[in-house]
Amino acid sequence: MSEDFNLPVGPFHPLLEEAEYFKITLDGEKVKEIEMETGWMHRAIEKLSESNTFDQTIFLVERICGICSASHPFACVNALEDIGNVEIPLRARYIRSLIGEMERIHSHLLWLGLAGHFIGYDTLWMWAWKYREPILEVIELITGNRNHYGVFRIGGVRKDYDISLNTRVNEVMDMLEKKLSMVAKAAMDDPVLKSRLCGVGILTKEDAINYCATGPTARASGVAIDVRKDEPYAAYDLLDFDIIVREEGDVFAKTVVRILEMLESIKMVRQIIERLRKISGPIYNDVAEIPAGEGIGRHEAPRGEVFHYIRSDGSNRPIRHKIRAPSYVNIPTYEVSCPGMNLSDVMITLASVDPCYCCTERSVKLFDSKGTEIAQNLLELSQRKTDRLIDELGESELWKLL
Amino acid sequence: MASEEHENDVLNELKEKIKMLLSKKKRVYFKVESENIVEVAKYLFEKGLRLSTISALENYEGFELIYHFSDDKSGMYYCPKVFIPLDDPKVPSIANNIAGAKWIEREIGELFGVVFVKHPEPKPLLLEDNPKIPKNPLRVKRREHE
Amino acid sequence: MGVYNRILKKSLWVFHMSASPCNNCDIEVLDLLTPGYDLERFGIKLVGSIRHADVLLITGMGGCKISERVVRLYNQAPKPVFVVAVGTCPIGGATFKDSYSRCGPLDKLIPVNLYIPGCPPKPEAMIEGLLKLLGRLD
């Protein structure tokens, strides 16, 4: 009988971008127990929200998480519209869904890359993130920012979709579909990857239900829940898509669910931009005030169900704003999915629920030293500088200088 | 309407234990006495409903705990509300039946100072070892004489 | 310092640290390393330990629980170490400036060499910032 060994992981660990602390109790190589300490990212958003007006709150909740930065405002406006029974115009509904789906694609690609990184498959990381870049570019074309879109408002959206972007969006979607099936084939048929992921970190259906898991974590364990189908909001009742469900519950199933979901999202984006061509009209309804009352809003974020509960007393501020991010219910499933595994499999199991421990401005102009605005691509500038130095000094001199 | 029938279906057996507060499109709020909440939560959970979260808020009468149960088949929300007094904030824990409530109750216990009786792991979740944090930061600040 | 700087300039090793951010800057920092921007061509690379690092790159508003660790990590870093604050949060707190859990701004805790504002800063802005840091080493 070997002695138990406590292994601390974090708060700063090379594999975690975010600070998080895990206490893993080991018996030899086998994990006996895992305990997690949170609070490193606590920013008191629920309290801050009480001192902000409803319009400001939407911008605040956008900054809960930088990866799913459309999810929280989405759920927040849904909650506010639930209080006031606000109807939103059709065009705004489609634009909201468009942003939501774009975000799902980039978030799942991000996860795919990080998952590859966690198991030491850095090629997958570089691939996935390379193909994520055009998506961010398209999002920037549509909303004006790579992340933190700022398009949601009570009663509609702030920014209209420009139909002339359709060509570019279609181009990117075509490229992505092709590349994604390539990545999917390379990743899903790889025997090494399969033996690394299959049967690892199994979350049974009973546990998924008992821990109230949501999103891909639940769907990979055979629990077919998806807010987009269960309680359709925005334009999801008008779109044609499927819920991806897998029964196995292991890390591989979660990977498959996410890859197939991306393809569903691509399908939805194509439908939306095609229909936006024909739908005209306003993009928001003016909402004069939010009446007293309580409202629940939710949104199927890339990681699961985002839940917002807002209580209003008729003034312009919420008196209570409860936020429940999807990772909050998905992370405790570690308690059942990790014990019994080898230590080397823990990291990928932790990553498999796509934990966002944080869920838990842009108009900066760049000026050079003379005060003229640098609006060009800075990459280009840096390359030009290198070229200039080569011209002035010659390449061999430049290397000496460096 | 289909959703109303369904609602009656779910809540019929609980009739003696609940007091209807508000029922609107896809949302039902009802009052439950704090000693009954474990039973009500267990009943709803066994009906196949999922606990989304528990919201706590403080007003002049006391604390209000709102349990959000989501029926994923119909998109309905069943929200039992428990009212507990400010000077003796105690409520039975539902975490023994629903594992997903563990973290949620720990967080409320720490942010509001509500005591969950018989919680399996009664320790703080977020603010442990945090040097500057006020005690129960989400409580409403009142002046001394009030 | 001349020789040291000349060598340092060739390969800045960066330790990335998140002090209660919203994750956005962190992801954009990682984005810099991937083929879209590929910061490694300037010799800049992320390392797993502060003891190997020349640059301490910090995002986030500086929550109270984490700020203690920020100071500890700064003390552990081999000097000279350049501290880079990415995003508006470590500079002014952004939307979180009234949070009860905030111990920032960052320069109250440790000396900061370079600020890159933005919420989040564009990757191009971060490259510009880091190149400026390289320029300072001349």
The stretch A206-219 carries a mean pLDDT of 91
Under 8 Å between Cβ of B18 and A272: no
- A110 in reach of chain C (CB within 8 A): yes
3-class DSSP string for chain B: CHHHHHHHHHHHHHCCCEEEEEEECCEEEEEECHHHHHHHHHHHHHCCCEEEEEEEEECCCEEEEEEEEEECCCCEEEEEEEEEECCCCEEECCCCCCCCHHHHHHHHHHHHCCEEECCCCCCCCCCCCCCCCCCCCCCCCCCCCC
pLDDT value at residue A205: 92
Amino acid at A223: V
In a domain, B45, yes or no: yes
Q: Which residue has the higher pLDDT, C136 or C34?
A: C34
Q: Is the residue at C20 inside a domain? A: yes
Nearest chain A residue to C95 by CA distance is: A60
Residue, of A29 and A240, whose pLDDT is higher: A240
Chain A residues touching residue C20 (CB < 8 angstroms): 40-43
Mean pLDDT score, A199-222? 90
What is the distance in angstroms between the Cα of C83 and the nearest Cα belonging to chain A? Answer: 17
Beta bridge partners of A307: A298, A324
Same domain, A257 and A229: yes
Assigned token pair, A198: 């299959």
In this prediction, residues A320-340 reach a mean pLDDT of: 87
Q: How many domains does chain B have?
A: 1
Give chain B's mean pLDDT. Answer: 83
**Residue C4, amino acid:** Y
* Domain, as residue range, for C32: 12-136
- Both A335 and A391 in one domain: the answer is no
Q: Is residue C27's pLDDT more than 90?
A: no
Complex ipTM: 0.90
pLDDT of res. A367: 38
Between CA C30 and CA C84 the distance in angstroms is 15
Tell me the mean pLDDT in the region A226-254. 91
Q: For the segment A280-299, what is each residue's pLDDT rounded down to a tens digit?
A: 889 999 888 889 999 999 99
Q: 3-class SS at A297? A: strand
Spatial distance between the Cα atoms of A221 and A336, rounded to a whole number of angstroms: 13
Question: Is the model's pLDDT at C60 over the cut of 60?
Answer: yes
What pLDDT score does A1 carry? 46
pLDDT of residue A378: 47
Q: Where does the pLDDT of residue A344 fall: very low under 50, low under 70, confident under 90, or very high at 90 and above?
A: confident
The answer as to whether B61 is a domain residue is: yes
What's the number of domains chain C is made of? 1
CATH number at residue B44: 3.30.460.80
Please indicate, yes or no, if residue A361 is contained in any of the structural domains. no
Q: Which of C3, C20, C98 is the best residue to mutate to test the A interface, defined by the most A CB atoms within 10 Å of its own CB?
A: C20
Surface-to-core class of residue A334, CB atoms within 10 Å of its CB (0-12 exposed, 13-18 middle, 19+ buried) = buried
Exposed/middle/buried for residue A206 (C-beta within 10 Å: 0-12, 13-18, 19+): exposed
pLDDT class of A267 with cuts at 50, 70, 90 = very high
Within a domain: residue C3? no
Cβ contact, residue pair C65, B129, below 8 Å:
yes
Q: What is the pLDDT of residue B8?
A: 65
Residue A402 pLDDT level (bands cut at 50, 70, 90): low
A14-38 burial, b if ≥16 CB within 10 A, otherwise e?
A: eebbbbbbbebebeeeebeebebbb
* Average pLDDT of span A111-138: 88
Q: Which residue in A40, A356, A374 is closest to C23 by CB distance?
A: A356
Amino acid at site A323? I
Question: Is A362 within the bounds of a domain?
Answer: no
- d(CA A139, CA A97) in angstroms, rounded, equals 13
User: Chain B: nearest CA to A342, how far in angstroms?
Assistant: 24
* Domain CATH number, residue C57: 3.40.50.12280
Q: Which residues contact A257 (CB under 8 A, 6 or more apart)?
A: A216, A219, A220, A244, A245, A246
- Give residue B69's pLDDT: 92
Predicted confidence at residue A14, as pLDDT, reads 66
Overall number of domains in chain A: 3
Mean pLDDT, rounded, of chain A:
84
Residues A277 and A326 in one domain: yes
Q: How many angstroms away from the CA of C46 is the closest CA of chain A?
A: 9
Question: Which residue of A14, A42, A382 is in closest CB contact with C127?
Answer: A382
Q: Which amino acid is at A248?
A: E
Those chains having 3 or more beta-carbon pairs within 8 angstroms of chain A are B, C
Strand residues in chain C grouped as ranges (E)? 13-18, 45-46, 55-59, 82-86, 114-116
User: A116 CA to chain B: closest CA distance, Å?
Assistant: 29
Contact (CB<8Å) B133/C64: yes
Instruction: Give pLDDT, residue A196.
Output: 85
Instruction: Indicate the residue type of B97.
Output: N
Nearest CA in chain C to B136: C100
* Selection from A269-278, B18-27, C38-47 with the highest mean pLDDT: A269-278
- Greatest mean pLDDT among A307-311, A355-359, B133-137, C21-25 lies in A307-311
pLDDT band at B146 (very low <50, low <70, confident <90, very high): very low
Q: Does A28 lie in the same domain as A84?
A: no
Q: Is residue B114 part of a domain?
A: no
CA distance B28 to chain C (A): 34
The single-letter DSSP state of residue A242 is -
Q: Please name the residue that has the structure tokens 């960066």.
A: C14
The nearest alpha carbon in chain C to B128 belongs to: C65
Range of the domain at A30: 4-37
* Length, in residues, of chain A: 402
The answer to the question of residue C1 being in a domain is no
User: Which residues on chain C are in Cβ contact (under 8 Å) with B130?
Assistant: 63-65, 101
Assess if residue C2 is contained within a domain: no
**Touching B: which chains, 3+ CB pairs < 8 A?**
A, C
Residue of C nearest to A67 (CA): C24
Pair (A276, A397) in one structural domain: no
Q: What is the pLDDT of residue A368?
A: 41
Per residue in B85-143, pLDDT (tens digit) is 988 889 999 999 898 888 889 888 888 888 999 888 888 777 777 777 777 788 777 66
DSSP line for A108-126: HHHHHHHHHHHTT-HHHHH
Q: Which residues of A touch C48 (CB under 8 A)?
A: 14
State which residue of chain B sits closest to A213, comparing Cα positions: B100
| Amino acid identity at A30 | K
DSSP lists the bridge partners of residue A58 as none
pLDDT at A365: 33
| pLDDT tier, B5 (very low <50, low <70, confident <90, very high otherwise) | low
Average pLDDT score over residue span A345-366: 62
Q: Which domain holds residue B64?
A: 2-94
Paired tokens of B100: 């997903």
Residues of B within 8 A of C64 (CB-CB) are: 130-133
Mean of pLDDT values over A268-274:
93
Judgement on whether residues A122 and A198 belong to the same structural domain of the protein: yes
**Does C100 contact B134 at a Cβ distance shorter than 8 Å?**
yes
Pairing assessment for the beta strands A293-301 and C55-59 based on DSSP bridges: unpaired
Determine the residue among A41, A64, A384 to mutate to test chain C binding: the one whose Cβ has the most chain C Cβ atoms within 10 Å: A41
The minimum CA-CA distance between C24 and chain A, rounded to whole Å, is 4
Is C7 inside any structural domain?
Answer: no
Query: Which residue would you say has higher pLDDT here, C70 or A367?
Result: C70
Q: Which residues pair with B83 in a beta bridge?
A: B64
Give the rounded distance of the alpha carbon of A369 from its chain centre.
Answer: 37
| A146 and A278 housed in the same domain | yes
Q: Which of C30, C118, C127 sits opposite A364 (nearest CB)?
A: C118
- Residues in chain B with CB shorter than 8 Å from the CB of A212 are 50-52, 98-101
How confident is the model at residue A308, as a pLDDT? 92
DSSP A87: -
pLDDT value at position A375? 42
Res C22 pLDDT > 50: yes
Integer Cα distance of B108 and A53 in angstroms:
24
Q: CB count, 10 Å around CB of A115?
A: 25
Query: How far C89 CA lies from chain B's nearest CA (Å)?
Result: 19
Predicted confidence (pLDDT) per residue in C100-129, tens digit: 888 878 888 899 989 999 888 988 898 888
Q: How far is B15 from chain A (nearest CA, A)?
A: 23
Partners of A46 on chain B (C-beta within 8 Å) are 111, 138
Confidence check: pLDDT of C138 > 70: no
Please indicate whether, in this complex, the C-beta atoms of C101 and B132 are within 8 angstroms of each other: yes
CB contact under 8 A, A379 and C122: no
Residues A306 and A397 grouped into a single domain? no
CB nearest to C119's CB, from A41, A133, A362: A362
Three-state secondary structure call for residue A85: coil
Examine residue B134 and state whether it is found in any structural domain, yes or no. Answer: no
Cα separations in angstroms, A15 against A196, B43, B97, C16, C131: 18, 42, 35, 11, 26
The pair of three-digit structure tokens given for residue A334, joined into one six-digit string: 């570690």
Between residues 324 and 383 of chain A, which touch chain C (CB distance below 8 Å)? 356-358, 361-362, 364, 366, 374, 377-379, 381-382
- A391 and A246 together in one domain: no
Q: Which residue has the higher pLDDT, C133 or A75?
A: A75
CB-CB under 8 Å, C68 with B134 = no
Nearest CA in chain A to B134: A44
- Looking at the predicted structure, is the pLDDT value of residue A363 above 50? no
pLDDT at C1: 57
Reply yes or no on whether the pLDDT at A209 is more than 50. Answer: yes
Rounded Cα distance, A398 and C79, in Å: 28
Residue A398 has a pLDDT of: 62
**E strand or H helix that includes residue A37:** strand A30-37
Chain C residues lying within 8 Å of B131, measured CB to CB: 64-65, 68
Q: What pLDDT, in 10s, does the model give residues B31-84?
A: 999 888 998 999 999 988 999 999 998 888 889 999 999 988 888 889 999 999
**What is residue A6's predicted lDDT score, i.e. its pLDDT?**
79
Q: How far is CA C39 from CA A89, A132, A368, C30, in A?
A: 44, 17, 21, 10
Task: Tell me: pLDDT of A312 over 80.
Answer: yes
